[in-house]
Amino acid sequence: MFAALLLCSTWAGAAYHVAGQIGAGQIGRVSQLAIGADDTLCVLESNGKVTFFNPDGSLASTLETGMANTDAIAVDAQGNIHIFSTLTKTKKVKVGARMRKVQLPVGVQCGIFDRSGKKIKTMDLKNLKSAKAARIVGDKLIVADLTQRSLIFMDAETGKETHRIKKGLRLCCGIFDFCEAPNNTIAVSNLGAFKLQQFDLDGKLLLEFGKRGRGIDDFHGCCNPVSAAYLPDGSILTVEKDSTRIKIYDASGKNATPIEGIEELVKGCAFIPVAVDSKGNIYLAANKGYIVKCEP
């Protein structure tokens, strides 16, 4: 059954095959993925639960953080887990002829846990309104703030903002994701612009590729890619939704090769989290209660 789910193709001579499902019956709706210490897969749910899987797909442990509205997770060089909770306040707004209560994002709290699940500390990130994705790269903590429509760079120890990227970001469908890229850089899935854009840690644009279209090198649909990741050889994995399409580009963003035979991982305009470990294993979160894994 699963062999029909995802058939991996080749790029630059590296063939992929499907290893199976991970987490069926053990996880709910996934908000983000990360790779932890020793290539442990960290699966974050929006209710604050983190489930850890060993590289062989077996359950390692779970962590109930006690946090809510958790859409972002990051792992530092020591293997500590950073969980980001978007704080909200209730406000009454007029919708048509009726007054309704809505939850407005007002800030972000970061809970930091060690590899055993013990809480180390809590940071209040007052310069943020919301957190959709986060990464720790070098000495920088970087957070995608959908409410402010900005990628915000901070000192990883203090949370003090150093700068932000806002200009040129075209976000839609409530999706805002980025990934770590080679040589202390990051790459933003600028889905409304139909581009993947690589920046250094000072916010300088280094590389961008993509345009809207139907060709294999293009990004299709209303807005794509929704997520991306770099493989160990420097090639670039991109993820498109509606319909699901996974492709691998060379390091310059050219010569895309699709991964054939993939089912619809989500319905409609929804986020598809992705992570790649040090051995090049690809993990894709299907909003159906499991993770799809491809091995090189």
Mean predicted confidence (pLDDT) in 85-110: 90
pLDDT of 1: 33
Alpha-carbon distance of 65 to 45, in angstroms, equals 11
pLDDT at 276 over 70: yes
pTM of the model: 0.92
Alpha-carbon distance of 250 to 248, in angstroms, equals 7
Show the domains of the chain with their CATH numbers. Answer: 7-295 (2.120.10.30)
pLDDT at 28 over 50: yes
pLDDT of 213: 96
Q: Which two tokens stand for residue 227?
A: 């997520």
CB neighbour class for 264 (10 Å; exposed up to 12, middle 13-18, buried from 19): middle
The amino acid present at 249, given as its one-letter code, is Y
**Closest C-alpha to 107, from 139, 79, 83, 131:** 131
pLDDT of 19: 77
Average of per-residue pLDDT values in the chain: 92
Distances in whole angstroms, Cα of residue 22 to Cα of each of 65, 119, 155, 245, 292: 22, 26, 34, 20, 7
Distances in whole angstroms, Cα of residue 246 to Cα of each of 7, 215, 219, 253: 11, 14, 10, 14
Distances in whole angstroms, Cα of residue 134 to Cα of each of 31, 125, 143, 180, 255: 12, 13, 4, 10, 29
Q: Which two tokens stand for residue 218?
A: 């293009």
Q: Three-state DSSP class for 193?
A: helix
Question: Of all residues in the chain, what percent carry a pLDDT higher than 90?
Answer: 83
pLDDT at 212 over 60: yes
Query: What is the residue whose two structure tokens read 């792992």?
Result: 75
pLDDT at 5 over 50: no
pLDDT of 132: 98
CB neighbour class for 217 (10 Å; exposed up to 12, middle 13-18, buried from 19): middle
**Closest C-alpha to 34, from 69, 4, 70:** 70
Instruction: Using pLDDT thresholds of 50, 70 and 90, give the confidence band for residue 15.
Output: low
pLDDT of 270: 96
Instruction: Using pLDDT thresholds of 50, 70 and 90, give the confidence band for residue 260.
Output: confident
pLDDT at 9 over 50: no
Could you report the per-residue pLDDT of 148-164, keeping only the tens digit for each? 999 999 999 999 999 99
CB 73 within 8 A of CB 50: yes
Q: Give the strand pairing for 205-209 and 195-200.
A: antiparallel
pLDDT of 12: 45
Alpha-carbon distance of 264 to 256, in angstroms, equals 20
Could you report the per-residue pLDDT of 116-147, keeping only the tens digit for each? 999 999 999 989 999 999 999 999 999 999 99
The amino acid present at 225, given as its one-letter code, is P
pLDDT of 217: 96
pLDDT of 14: 53
**Closest C-alpha to 198, from 185, 211, 210:** 185
Instruction: Using pLDDT thresholds of 50, 70 and 90, give the confidence band for residue 30.
Output: very high
